[in-house]
Structure 1
């Protein structure tokens, strides 16, 4: 017989990113949720209640008072979320061009303000696919035809990196196995890897971003020490494909059995085919990487 999973309050709080104190307050003070109790009187939360808590969390983050949300059913909460999505996405298509127009005039404050608002209001997948990636493509086009100077291109990259990495700061006391993100020696391209890390974090998986140009044995040392759930790497520079093979062989040999390695970037397919290792997977984009990680975690 199938038994539905039930979560104690600490596990429920971790799943939805709230404190146990907040969960108790939303129950006692506002009646927003109704957990069941076990024989010892401890609160237990079923999957439906976890989903409701997630909706409430997203809406309170957007400024809706919990007192106004508590009496609403789940359909009403979903409608509020959809209304917020439509409002937030209103001008997103033209945002990359407007931000680069600001950089062309060295109006860094305007660029940074627009980027900060996008980060605060857009889901991570939308932020990456409709703002960050189009922005990077437009940077390449403007640099190629002379509308953007090298200094301006580097300014965009540094501002993006600063703001996006701030989101990846690991929460204190995070105990669950993390996905590690890094690049191998002499591989400096990282914005795509940062995007994949952000989408993995958005999907609810703990992330530790290690940065660029790390030797494989250093990554192994961290992965073993922390009991990592997996390793994600980006390899973009064609000149680094052959050296990356040797580093990946060291990584494959050193990691604990069952820990997967996800490769993104233009070299990923070549590297995975050359290595032919059961643990190493090439992925085409950040969404594919995140789906693969989630699927592997679900089997673990």
Structure 2
């Protein structure tokens, strides 16, 4: 084993207790555990007695992240930036600190706008360049909040790919690939956010006969980030069984999506079913491409809120709260 290899092995050896890590980094133990749970920052080892053990590299990583947070960067953006730099071969947490130096700054959002990132993401998706797609998305999440990436990058890219397919400039295989890879990334983000122990309950999913669920997955992610307990039901949610679960679980909110006029009209069954439930009934919210393309559908669901985007829904719920 070379000297460098020995050094790396020593740096990665889990030998420090959480008490030592707290003393070395100044990060409270509760915060440290929250970062591990929510963002997968570290994977500590375990002692024979089951206690967490950390390595020198773990401590260096935590110091770097704390420097970012102390500089005003959110922990989610700091973690995304760390992952981005590691993907490019950098190890910022191992770079020695210079006395009086500022912590590494996040790249300027103005230097690379959402539209430019979307253009590059579209090209990488159409070329099946998965590693490049992942790197672009990591950069996007380092630069912008989740809601901005969802609304201003991912959603427009999916719309553009759909338009290319309709014009015969992209194949159905390319469209399926793009949807699958973006859906996978969003699903990973959704599950990375721990379900709140308390808070209003929301049930979300793609309506009956609806197989396009990226949009409602975005909504589910935004709701969970807002503090809702979210039960995400996936694609093609059957109306009758949904009604049974609504009656049993008593959610405060039910959000369903439809991408075609036909599938939106089927949501009328869900609307009537929920309307006939005894109080307290959940608030119904519908959305998706069908409602944006056919605004006249909104009159079919007079007592429900029709959201044109995840951002609009977040603003609506943020202003009024769950009903």
TM-score by length of 1: 0.66
Aligned to 1:242, which of 265, 284, 298? 265
Alpha-carbon distance between aligned partners in 2 of 1:130 and 1:263, rounded to the nearest angstrom: 21
Are the counterparts in 2 of residues 233 and 263 from structure 1 also a CA contact under 8 Å?
yes
Corresponding residue number in structure 2 for 1:284:
308
- Residues matched between the structures, number: 249
Corresponding residue number in structure 1 for 2:300:
274
Tell me whether 1:162 sits opposite 2:184 in the alignment: yes
Structure 1 residue 153: Cα displacement: 1.1
Rate the CA distance shift 1:56–1:233 in 2: closer, same or farther, 3 A.
closer
Residues 73-112 of structure 1 mapped to structure 2, 5 A cutoff = 84=106, 86-87=108-109, 90=112, 92-112=114-134
Alpha-carbon distance between aligned partners in 2 of 1:161 and 1:247, rounded to the nearest angstrom: 25
Which digits, 9 at most, give the CA deviation of each residue in 1:102-129, with x for residues without a partner?
Answer: 3333323322332344345531122022
Aligned-residue CA RMSD (Å): 4.1
Rate the CA distance shift 1:197–1:234 in 2: closer, same or farther, 3 A.
same
Tell me whether 1:295 sits opposite 2:305 in the alignment: no
Aligned to 2:154, which of 125, 132, 157? 132
Are the counterparts in 1 of residues 195 and 229 from structure 2 also a CA contact under 8 Å?
no
Are the counterparts in 2 of residues 124 and 202 from structure 1 also a CA contact under 8 Å?
no
Structure 1 residue 222: Cα displacement: 3.3
Aligned to 1:201, which of 206, 211, 224? 224
Tell me whether 1:152 sits opposite 2:174 in the alignment: yes
Structure 1 residue 231: Cα displacement: 0.9
Which digits, 9 at most, give the CA deviation of each residue in 1:185-231, with x for residues without a partner?
Answer: 11222222222222223333332211121122333333344442311
Are the counterparts in 2 of residues 104 and 152 from structure 1 also a CA contact under 8 Å?
yes
Q: Which has the larger radius of gyration?
A: 2
Corresponding residue number in structure 2 for 1:10:
none
Rate the CA distance shift 1:59–1:196 in 2: closer, same or farther, 3 A.
closer
Rate the CA distance shift 1:108–1:162 in 2: closer, same or farther, 3 A.
same
Which digits, 9 at most, give the CA deviation of each residue in 1:39-85, with x for residues without a partner?
Answer: xxxxxxxxxxxxx9x966446535598xxxxxxxxxxxxxx99x637
Aligned to 1:262, which of 260, 285, 292? 285
Which digits, 9 at most, give the CA deviation of each residue in 1:12-40, with x for residues without a partner?
Answer: xxxxxxxxxx9xx97x887789xxxxxxx
**Helix, strand or coil for the counterpart of 1:257?**
coil
TM-score by length of 2: 0.62
Moved over 6 A (4+): 28-33
Unaligned runs of 5+ in 2: 1-17, 29-69, 83-91, 94-102
Are the counterparts in 1 of residues 203 and 232 from structure 2 also a CA contact under 8 Å?
yes
Rate the CA distance shift 1:188–1:112 in 2: closer, same or farther, 3 A.
same
Corresponding residue number in structure 2 for 1:230:
253
